[in-house]
Each structure stands twice: as structure tokens, then as C-alpha cells.
Amino acid sequence: MYRSTLCYIRCNNRILMLFRDKKEADINKGKWIGVGGKFKDGEQAGNCLRREVREETGLEPASFAFRGIILFRDIPEDGCEVCEEMYLYTADISEEEASHICSCDEGTLRFIPEDGIMDLPLWEGDRVFLRDILEDRKRISYELTYKKGKLADVKKTGVRNVIFDLDGTVSDSGEGIMRSAAYALNAFGFEVSDYRELSFFVGPPLLYTFTKMYGVSEDKARKMIEKYRERYNDIGAYENELYPGVKECLIKLREEGYTIALGSSKPEHMCRKILEHFGILDLFDEVTGSTPDGAIDSKSEVLCELIRRRGDDPRFLAESVLVGDTHFDVDGAMDIGMSCIGVSFGYGEAGELKDLGAVAVADSFEEIYDIVTGL
């Protein structure tokens, strides 16, 4: 199986399409498709996406929305099945950005009005997910089977695995995090008059926040993290409470047969300690967090480690959704090719989560259950 990305770039009710007309030995010759291409060794979906879009169009959109994974199964006459796992994205750009599109050696690029897309010569399987894009469906995942060049079967890929962020999603941990951040900052000469002004510490990795927000070196930031944990590990972790309906939602999802996991940028041992404190550790099939040495730190790294623990099953990613409260969750999921549900009750902004491509934004755990079971 090989992996690839495909992106549809939109501008004022038009979609940028690529007519493959420049190469003779091209399986897509004579068809209109989006832009994208195969992964290089060591690439994640987000890296491949940005590189391919830049190479084929010259564009670098500010953000992309992950829409789903399309598994193509091609069974030719000789019966030797070929599989492709394609990561589907969209992006919106302005007219000014659109004016800078370069020529592409793969074919001819052209913006097509949305109401004219289905009149183009398209692969039959592409029509399936393009229709969903035109209808603005947020999560689009299918298994498409071709036999002898013709579309033979279409199966929707449902969600079977639900991965939860911890801080600001499962529990309101803000007070303990902010007080501990103030403790560390004050110790290093940064005056904090009101710890409640430090809500930006909730969610992202501590190393990121200390270096980006306070301009300190990585070495100094690690010392500040040690000071932070001096207070947090014994006190701050328990200045914390579950959001209403968490336990009930987890139990109902498990009864429906969903696998439940935690994926947090908080150190893994602290994740387990907090879940055990709340009496819900046994409701999670897997708990994954960051490592003290920084080898696993960002949301995408945490999610990749979770996938590794699940046996690198290619369908695990396609059948998973992350639930989180900040743009770090949506961005981290987008980078590896995972859908994300946002929550409005955490420390992010609901509007920002929607703009970045969250499939939905829930106002409560009751809504999370309804959204997950409806995907």
C-alpha cells in the first residue's frame, strides 16, 4: 500500500482543479483531479500535503482542513490488488492568493465553478467524495473498490476509536496549571499579578509556551518546567475537576463498542495519575502522553505513538477521531490525517476550531456522544 494526499483549494465558490494532459504515461491522463501526490519516506500527511501543494501550485495556504481518508482498492485483470491510502484535505484562499498560482508540469490548473465540477471528466470514485465536499460535509472517509478500471463498490468508513485530550476536554484543569505556571514564572523573575491571565498554558506543551510566550531558551524553559512540576505534581494536578457528563459519555461509548483512548501533551504518568484520581482510568483502553525527555511532546507525536501502540493498523487512523479544545488539537490531528471534534467548554475558541476544520464543536459531553455516534 502506498499513501498520498489530495487537496481541493477553494476560492469564491470555485475549486482549483488539475487537468492531467501533459504526460503520456499518466494513469490520470484526461481526468480532472485535485492537487497532491505520494508521501516521501518519513513524511507525515501534513508535510506531504504542504510540499505537494507548493510544488504543484506555488501556493502556501495559511491553513488546511482535514476531511478524511479514502482507501482505494484496485483489482486489475490479473487479480493482483493494489491499494492506496489517500488523505483528503481542503483549503480556502483569497483572490489575491489565487492570482499567484504558478504553472504545473503535471497538467493544466484551472478554477472551476462549483456548480460545474460534476460536468468534468472525473474518476467515478472522485465523484463520491467531491459530492460530499460540495455539500460541505466535514468528515469524508470511504473505501472505494475498482475492478478492471471501473468503480465496483463504495463503503463508508465509520468511527470506531475515540481519542480524548485531557486538559480542557476531559477535565477543567486550568486552575492547577495556571497557578503552577505562575509559581515557575515568579521563580525566574517574571512577575505575574494574576494567575488567571495564564490560560494560554492550558493545552499546548509547556516547552512551547515558555519559549514562545516568554522568549527564553530551550534550556531555560526546561528548568522552568522543572519548577512548574515542583508545584503541579503534588498540588496543581488536584486543582482540577471533571467536566459534567464525562463518565456517563465514556461508559455509553464503550457499551456501543468504541475503543476509548487518551492522547495528551501532559506527561503520561501524570495523565494516568489524574484519571485514576477521578476513578475513570479503567474506562480508557489506552493512555498516551508526552515523555520527560521531550522525544514525544507535540500532539501529533502523541497521536503517532498511540497509533504505534495499536499495532500501526492502517485502518485505526481512518476509523479514529480526536476530541480536543484548542487549535493544537485540530492542528495535531490534521498533521497526521485524523478527524477532530472540538469542544466549546475548554480553553480554545469554538470559531477558531471550526475554521481550522473541526468536524463539529460540542457544547457538552452529551453532544460529544451524539456527534461521535452520528459520524
Catalytic residues: 165
Q: Which residues pair with 73 in a beta bridge?
A: 83, 145
- Closest Cα to residue 365, out of 261, 281, 244? 244
Cell for 181? 505556571
What does R_g of the chain's alpha carbons equal in angstroms? 22
Instruction: Output phi, psi for 305, to 5 deg.
Output: -65, -40
Cell for 337? 490525517
Neighbours of 31 (CB within 10 A): 18
Cα–Cα dist 289/263, whole Å: 6
- Closest Cα to residue 235, out of 270, 279, 276, 187? 270
* CA angle at 322 for the pair 291 and 38, rounded to the nearest 5°: 85
Q: Which residues pair with 142 in a beta bridge?
A: 70, 156
Cα–Cα dist 57/152, whole Å: 32
For 229-240, letters b (16+ CB in 10 Å) and e give bebbeeebbebb
Cα–Cα dist 132/153, whole Å: 17
**From start to end of 76-107, where are the E strands?**
82-92
Cα–Cα dist 317/141, whole Å: 11
Residue 195: helix, strand or coil by DSSP?
helix
